[in-house]
Amino acid sequence: MSLSLGSRQIAPPVLLAPLAGITDLPFRRLVSGFGAGLVVSEMIASGEFLTARPGTREKAELGAGIENTSVQIAGREPGPMAEAARQVADMGARVIDINMGCPAKKVTGGWSGSALMQVPDHALRLIEAVVGAVDVPVTLKTRLGWDDDHRNAADLARRAEAAGVRMVVIHGRTRCQFYKGRADWAAIREVVEAVQIPVVANGDITDAASARQALAQSGAAGVMVGRGAQGAPWRLAEIAAALYGAPPVHIPEGRAFCDMVADHYEAMLGFYGTTLGGRVARKHLGWYMDRAGTPAALRQRLLTEKDPRAVLQLLPDALIRNRAEAA
């Protein structure tokens, strides 16, 4: 089974959500290696991107041309959004996603992200500008609305479809909910019924069971996984195998798990440099150790160690509980 974005097919219809500070190039490559229909980059602020602020342009340049990668852009003015989209497409992006779902105050305070759901006419102008600027498929990610009194995702999706958007991803919460409570997958059905383009369900989808429930309640054509992939980069492939008949995924254990983590750690160091890479790696190492049940003292030692060689030496003790597998 696949999703159709015009001439581009997304198969399986299991997508990696954009997560700031998490879905960087090393992590997207790792997730893609296990199997994912589409992986979405960290959000790029169009204004910062165009002024080439350090650390912004690189996010688009590194990985934009990878086959199953979508680059997500955000902003509040049509001109910069359109120009950012053009430049990202020129770098090789196969899909461009518009962020109208981020709930963070630093984003909504600048009238970007989910704040745009409060001004749908202006949101539509941004959508039209981006669609008109590029030849690649454009998708849209939103929430159900700003708050419970203003759930306008279905209307915005309908207008976005008319403007040329090829897919909509809906996080099943309002902006004012942030990440509290539970995602309302059933509420996504209204969006599904309002448009002909694919709608993807997002929010609290952490495994095959929750993905199956989300699809049943929403009627969506696919799912997007975010936090469920933290510490489990195989999660999307696992869901794809269970729901869509994709090949079974081999989940690494013991020495294989340790080797995967070591490779991911070294990839982050190579991508960011030793100092920044070491800091960025800590959250990932923490999630991996959560899975392994690493003793607290050893966990603390590994997370505070700054020498990469020492970190690599500690990984087997931290991640391999069965000593026979450590040999």
Annotated binding site: 72, 141, 171, 226-227
Cis amide bond preceding 247, omega within 30: no
Residue keyed to tokens 């998490």: 22
b/e map 45-81, b = 16+ CB within 10 Å: bbbbbbeeeeebbebbebbbebebbbbbbbbbbbebb
Report which DSSP code applies to 248: P
Nearest C-alpha neighbor of 288 from the set 260, 308, 313: 260
Binding residues for FMN: 72, 141, 171, 226-227
Report which DSSP code applies to 23: S
CA distance 222 to 11: 10
Catalytic residue among 17, 30, 102, 211: 102
Three-state SS for 161-191 is HHHCCCEEEEECCCHHHCCCCCCCCHHHHHH
**Letter for the amino acid at 296?**
A
Contact 171, 136 (CB under 8 A): no
Torsion sign, CA atoms 248, 253, 256, 259 = positive
Active site residue 102: yes
Catalytic residues: 102
